[in-house]
Structure 1
């Protein structure tokens, strides 16, 4: 008797489907606790939440730890809109094993060993630099401030009680255009970091097992910056250094100087190419109007100029370079047209 072929096919399909369902049902689903406070963190949280919604078998739980929960920051507003539970920092009642993995992006708080040990897979951090270069609080600012032509993003394991020294999970290099400023570079690196974090989650736990130690060579530190960094030191800085400072703190603080004993803020900076060296006897910090560029230019340490399209005397409104020339320096003797460092410096 010839066996019923169709019944055998049905059995084979049923067995295969059962094996698939078994593999699917036993696949690890991760509980993730995200630590983050600012815009960089929001980029990563969005990408992870999108992953959770698209592949809900991969992420079983996603919660947010953030500071300043009394004030609704952008990341808190996003979490509320997406029904992501928000937990205030510091943590007081986290149980060991309650979450599998901790994710840290732009959080700024040191992770202690007792907290780290509560995550079976540990904690990973997105850091916007090519570690070990620019460990510390302000890596993107220092990248621009020092004129780095290449930067990157590093995904690393967290070590307790110390910042930015953990093993590297993945790393990418990113070119730094010569005119890019802080907000644009921050946005670029944020997106790269978010994608790297998603790739790490997709390939758990292998992505963590393949991490390697950081190099002990080329270590630099990106210390936190303060408002007084905006004061231009004309006698100490070249035109490129002033321009790099402008790019590095753009959106945080405008460049500042002192002119005729009044504090002045400088906007819309650029370097005019090609720019010849000024061999005159004018002192560094000399200020004049350039008709060619329709900008105020100021002489720097290297005897080259940096240009500004608009300026503002503190207490007055921001005005164009031509209006500044007509209102403040047209009738001032040439040898008196000089910017200086504030007497409070």
Structure 2
């Protein structure tokens, strides 16, 4: 501002006293613009990004594109992510987070959270940075971290806060068969998850095209989230000034998914509920049931074997062999092979039916319904029974 004031003052003098004031005025204005542009470039936000998975990766990518497009908004980015995780047989393979793979490919410096525990207490974050951006991170960003960020931190949360606070908003949106979903950019609260002031929010209609899967909803909301995040950072001062406090009377929770949710309760749930659970959590927790299968040939006197099954590719059939006169009053859990759809149909609560195209027995490869029936000696013209795993 001092340089600009000096320039304006000199221009006033030149207009009064110099015969070549027009030429010099143009030169000084040009120099003034160059000075302002250079200074603004240096004032772009230094962003520390916290995130792990594919949802976070898409937002990191958007910030990098914004930095490369206009460094007056973002001048520098570094990543904080979880350590590589062991996976595969005998946990022999180290798998990096999706954000780390992207960051290393694009020369973004990477920092890891502590390798033990799930807390950032006592952890010293890299410095100096102006603003934190937190997306699908999994850790609570503690006050000791926030105090190093003069502008605090913002978070992208895939729900219409205060609805679905917690780790699993996408899953609960699908399981509850919501007609509307959405995404929120909020300030990070130093005391609680998902309790910050709302900086931006946008809803999406799910009534005409329900999410086909977790990944489908994730990607649809991600495309909105990246835009809202960039718009918020471009206009951060105004967004903070006009932020909205969450209505505590409308808070609902979306806690971490428990493995027991995957245990199918044919007696207690209708087919639409089971199918919605499959779309919501099938990518992380395959739905499970148990079945008694006939003894192998040559061991006819042996007892039936009980095996645990994963259920894959579930759907809602329009017609079913279980709705014939002989089977329409069958108890929940009753199964039959439906030749027309080449799938196994299972009776659920209130006479509803769920279709299953693929199954996987414990320690076996996944099979089609047809191969499963043949492999386990299940007669396709008779009914069997799925039972809930207790």
The TM-score normalised by the length of structure 2 is 0.79
2:51 touches 2:80 (CA, 8 Å); kept in 1? Answer: yes
Distance 2:141 2:236 in 1: 22
Does structure 1 residue 253 correspond to structure 2 residue 285? yes
2:336 touches 2:381 (CA, 8 Å); kept in 1? Answer: no
Name the SS of the counterpart of 1:225 in structure 2.
Answer: coil
Does structure 1 residue 31 correspond to structure 2 residue 63? no
Distance 1:179 1:188 in 2: 9
- Return closer, same or farther for 1:315/1:69 CA change in 2, 3 Å cut-off: closer
Name the SS of the counterpart of 1:191 in structure 2.
Answer: helix
CA-atom RMSD, angstroms?
A: 2.5
Distance 1:218 1:274 in 2: 40
2:185 touches 2:228 (CA, 8 Å); kept in 1? Answer: yes
Given candidates 99, 102, 111, the residue that maps to 1:87 is 111
**What is the match of residue 317 of structure 2?**
272
Distance 2:169 2:110 in 1: 27
- Return closer, same or farther for 1:326/1:155 CA change in 2, 3 Å cut-off: same
**What is the match of residue 14 of structure 1?**
27
Given candidates 58, 65, 68, the residue that maps to 1:53 is 68
**What is the match of residue 293 of structure 1?**
341
Distance 2:25 2:321 in 1: 81
**What is the match of residue 366 of structure 2?**
318
Deviation at 1:329, TM superposition (A): 6.2
Deviation at 1:106, TM superposition (A): 0.8
2:321 touches 2:345 (CA, 8 Å); kept in 1? Answer: no
Matched ranges for 1:1-345 at <5 A: 10-27=23-40, 28-68=43-83, 72-89=96-113, 90=120, 92-94=123-125, 98-176=128-206, 177-260=209-292, 261-273=306-318, 278=323, 280-328=328-376, 330-331=378-379, 334=382, 337-342=384-389, 345=390
Larger-gyration structure (1/2): 2
Deviation at 1:310, TM superposition (A): 1.7
Distance 1:220 1:131 in 2: 9
Distance 1:299 1:50 in 2: 51
Name the SS of the counterpart of 1:237 in structure 2.
Answer: coil
Distance 2:211 2:74 in 1: 40
Query: Could you list the runs of 5+ residues in structure 2 that have no partner in the other structure?
Result: 1-18, 86-93, 114-119, 293-305
Deviation at 1:105, TM superposition (A): 0.6
Distance 1:114 1:193 in 2: 27
Per-residue Cα deviation, 1:38-96 (whole angstroms, up to 9, x for no partner): 2111111111011111212322221111121585333222222222222222474448x
Larger deviation, residues 171-180 vs 45-54 = 171-180
Instruction: Return the structure number with greater relative CO, CA threshold 8 A, min gap 6.
Output: 1
- Return closer, same or farther for 1:34/1:310 CA change in 2, 3 Å cut-off: same
